[in-house]
Amino acid sequence: MNAVIAIDGPSASGKSTVARRLAAGAGYLFVDSGALYRGITWKALKNDMDVNSESVIDGVVDSVDFDFFTKDGAVCFRIDGVEPGLELRTEKINTKVSIIATYPSVREKVVSLLRGMRELGNLVIEGRDITTAVFPDARYKFYLDASPEERARRRHVEMAEREDIAEEAVLDSITKRDEIDTTRERDPLRVAEDAEIVDTTSMDLEEVIDYIAGRIEV
């Protein structure tokens, strides 16, 4: 059975950058699980669907055709032959993806696809329910956290390269997503009993990576 290093945490806690770097260091594949929820949201919005309607999304979720491949040490995908790339990262998707991620039909599909990725190799995978629901048997489990203000600051720096958005608006959006992600009925974001919490508020990226790399043996 291939090894899994699982990292959960709230929006913009640095999970994906940290996970990508750890994967590169360990020679494992990096998986960004949120990208799959974003991919379903992207396809629904492209087809002008009402993402606030669970029955509408239930009706189409099975037809979202993910085609997975590995590139630069990461698991990537096309949907209907198209690689959505940075289109997954717009504020429009940010505001809708947490809603779609509350729907059980969507979660069942994504969880099953993510579990299948273990066949591809050893994984470093990040998300909201990886340590609790997708891979509760992961070899290592971490919960990355940071204050909402610090997360908004980091996400704003990242988004400002692509979109004109105020830092307060980013904080507002992150706070709303935290609320939806932690209160949804199905597999809400929470700290797994056996996960190690890493509060990165006053750490820089290199410190976080060094710390976690020092906690794992690969």
Contact positions vs ligand DC (CB under 6 A): 11, 33-34, 37-38, 97-98, 101, 127-130, 177, 181
Crossing angle between the packed helical segments 91-100 and 34-46, to the nearest 10 degrees:
110
Nearest-approach distance from CB 3 to ligand DC, in angstroms = 19
Pick between residue 26 and residue 101 the one whose CB is nearest to ligand DC: 101
Pick between residue 193 and residue 214 the one whose CB is nearest to ligand DC: 193
Nearest-approach distance from CB 35 to ligand DC, in angstroms = 6
Nearest-approach distance from CB 125 to ligand DC, in angstroms = 8
Question: Which residues, 6 or more positions from 133, have their beta carbon under 8 angstroms from its beta carbon?
Answer: 111, 187
Pick between residue 33 and residue 209 the one whose CB is nearest to ligand DC: 33
Pick between residue 27 and residue 197 the one whose CB is nearest to ligand DC: 197
Crossing angle between the packed helical segments 91-100 and 167-183, to the nearest 10 degrees:
10
Nearest-approach distance from CB 2 to ligand DC, in angstroms = 18
Q: CA torsion sign, 181 to 115 to 26 to 5?
A: positive
- Nearest alpha carbon to residue 182 among 1, 5, 4, 9: 9
Which residue carries 């794992």 as its tokens? 216
Pick between residue 31 and residue 214 the one whose CB is nearest to ligand DC: 31
Instruction: Please answer whether residues 45 and 93 qualify as being in contact, where contact means their C-beta atoms are separated by less than 8 angstroms.
Output: yes
Query: Do strands 74-79 and 123-127 pair parallel, antiparallel, or not at all (unpaired)?
Result: unpaired
The number of beta carbons lying within 10 Å of the beta carbon of residue 130 is 30
Nearest-approach distance from CB 209 to ligand DC, in angstroms = 18
